[in-house]
Structure 1
Amino acid sequence: MKFKGLYIFLLLCLAACGEEVIEQPENLIPEEKMTAILYDLAILNAADGTNPSVLEDRGIETMSFLYQKYEIDSAQFVDSDIYYASKPLQYQGMYERIEARIKKVKKQMEDERKRKTDSIKKAAEAKQSPVKTGQE
């Protein structure tokens, strides 16, 4: 009998989780576009946190830049962000894709830096070692 009560309770919890807490806004930004916006927001915030003058010197204000780039307005962004945040699994998935993209770009940058460093080392070593002419 206890299992039947527990089963009903779990069933009700699952049903409640399936309900929409917040209605989908009319001007909802599609998930892929919203993910791209959040990715750019993370990159811009990291740049601003690391070296604020980089954005400042270029006259870039993060949110205005994003609104213009993605042709959205602040209300549309806020409505969409609240809507996606009300769907934790979907929102988590978006952030997992953002994290994966950041890791991929970071690895590409690290690989490129290593390639350049190796190339510079090889050039320096070649310059330091005597050239054998064959007449010795």
Structure 2
Amino acid sequence: MLKKIILLFSIAVAFIACQDIENSEKPENLIPEEKMVDIITEISLLQSARNFSKRIYESTGIKGQEYVFEKYNIDSIQFKRSNDYYADNYETYQRIYDSVKEGFERMKVKLDTLQKQEKHIEDSIAQAKKDSLKKVADSLDPELERELEGVSDSLIEEKDSLNITPIDSLPTPMSRN
């Protein structure tokens, strides 16, 4: 019986102790929500880059959180206190993370658009190369070559008959007019 009472007493104490969770106080230097969205977004991007290729990430020499803290002129304690405060306020924290998610979705749309544009440009270049190669191949047609030879010979003969030297073909300088 004594064991049951001790067990019930322990459960009651644990239950009461868990009910008295204190929320974090609002820090004096609380990071505004908009700035928190930017900070969390940037930290997430840097962590993703590190997870994607740790070797390449480390070769850049960027220290993820240190870089972000310096960029936004905050320190790790200020970030932790602000993050804890927002985490205790579920609606606000949810709003921050929804904004981060929306920001990533906008980035994805921009990147997809840029990739489509780049693909279009690459396809256009490939088509232009293909067209120019086709023209070269067409110009190698023996009959067409013979026709072009006759035209170019007649143009050379015409030029020679005019007796124009390269200097004569230059425009008159403005100072002589």
In which range does the TM-score fall when normalised by the shorter chain?
0.7 to 0.9
Amino acid at match of 2:111: M
Amino acid at match of 1:91: Y
Among 93, 96, 106, the residue aligned to 2:108? 106
Amino acid at match of 2:102: A
TM-score, normalization: structure 2? 0.60
Amino acid at match of 2:31: I
Structure 1: state its 5+ residue gaps.
1-19
The Cα offsets for residues 1-32 of structure 1, whole Å up to 9 and x where unpaired, read as xxxxxxxxxxxxxxxxxxx8322011211111
Among 60, 63, 66, the residue aligned to 1:58? 60
Q: Which residue of 2 aligns with 1:80?
A: 82
Q: Which residue of 2 aligns with 1:40?
A: 42
Q: Which residue of 2 aligns with 1:26?
A: 28
Q: Which residue of 1 aligns with 2:130?
A: 128
- Give the % identical residues: 32
Q: Contact between 1:55 and 1:61, CA under 8 Å: does it hold in 2?
A: no
Structure 2: state its 5+ residue gaps.
1-21, 140-146, 148-177
The Cα offsets for residues 60-98 of structure 1, whole Å up to 9 and x where unpaired, read as 111111111111111111000000000111111111111
CA-CA distance at 1:126 after TM superposition: 2.3
CA-CA distance at 1:128 after TM superposition: 1.3
Secondary structure of 2:61 counterpart: coil
Secondary structure of 2:28 counterpart: coil
Amino acid at match of 1:99: K
Q: Which residue of 1 aligns with 2:118?
A: 116
